[in-house]
Amino acid sequence: MRLLMIYSHPVSESFGAAMRDAALAGLSEGGHEVKLIDLYAENFDPRLSREERLDYENPQRNTANTAGHVEKLRWAEGLIFVFPTWWYGLPAMLHGWLDRVWVPGVAFEIRDGGKVIEPNLRNIQLVVGITSCGSPGWWMKIVGEPQKRIIMRGLRALFHKRCRKKWLTIYKMDSASPLARQKYLTRITGEMRRL
């Protein structure tokens, strides 16, 4: 399967990097073709500029600054998001990537004067979220897991109607033991191998 991994963490020696590496190892073992977008390593600018906002609904101009990312998104059959959960949501870098790359003509089409949003990423047949979270699982359930809802519901609505989904989280990350962290990394590798 052609899989695009979008990785977002500013620290190269972080547990986030270990999650990324565990996922890449499992995907390699599973024989998948993988492309990686490392948002911090490539110094991606998450800010939607004034010009980009003005051109947002114009498919002839709205990908001028993100064409390489759009090409990878269109190439993929599956997406894997690897990121830390910060303030119950996506890191600003990852959210900015969505703002700038997932534009009309790429992720969706706007029809009937804005009354209808038509999915445009039907090539995506699998979506995976891999994250760490400092809060306990029970608290994340109370606040509604916004990071999960964005990816598994909001973005998922733009994919193939039979798109499979998988969500992996380690809760209480800040107090997790080395053994708990290792078990999570082993789980990531195994789950990615079996995709």
Domains of the chain by range and CATH?
2-193 (3.40.50.360)
Q: Is the pLDDT of residue 78 over 80?
A: yes
CA–CA separation, 94 and 86 (whole Å): 11
Parallel, antiparallel, or unpaired: how do β-strands 126-133 and 78-85 relate? parallel
pTM beyond 0.85: yes
pLDDT band at 31 (very low <50, low <70, confident <90, very high): very high
CA–CA separation, 6 and 81 (whole Å): 5
What is the percent of the chain with per-residue pLDDT over 90, rounded to a whole number?
95
Q: How confident is the model at residue 115, as a pLDDT? A: 74
- Per-residue pLDDT, averaged over 12-28, amounts to 97
Query: For the segment 105-119, what is each residue's pLDDT rounded down to a tens digit?
Result: 999 998 877 777 899
Helices H / strands E in the chain, number of each: 7, 7
Query: For the segment 87-110, what is each residue's pLDDT rounded down to a tens digit?
Result: 999 999 999 999 999 999 999 998
Determine which of 29-38, 113-122, 146-155, 163-172 has the lowest per-residue pLDDT on average. 113-122
